[in-house]
Amino acid sequence: MKELVGMCKCCGKEIFCLDGFFNGVITENKQTYCFDCHETSSNEEENPQS
Q: According to CB under 5 A, which residues from 3 to 32 bind Zn ion? A: 8, 10-11, 13
Q: How far is the CB of 47 from Zn ion (least distance, A)?
A: 21
Q: Determine the 3-state secondary structure of 47 from DSSP.
A: coil
- Which one of 2-10, 14-22, 41-49 is the stretch in contact with Zn ion (CB under 5 A)? 2-10
User: What are the residues whose beta carbons fall under 8 Å from the beta carbon of 10, sequence distance 6 or more?
Assistant: 33, 34, 37, 40, 41
The answer to whether 33 and 25 are in contact (CB under 8 A) is yes
Question: Rounded to the nearest whole angstrom, what is the least distance from the CB of residue 50 to Zn ion in the complex?
Answer: 25
The site for Zn ion (CB under 5 A) is made up of 8, 10-11, 13, 34, 37
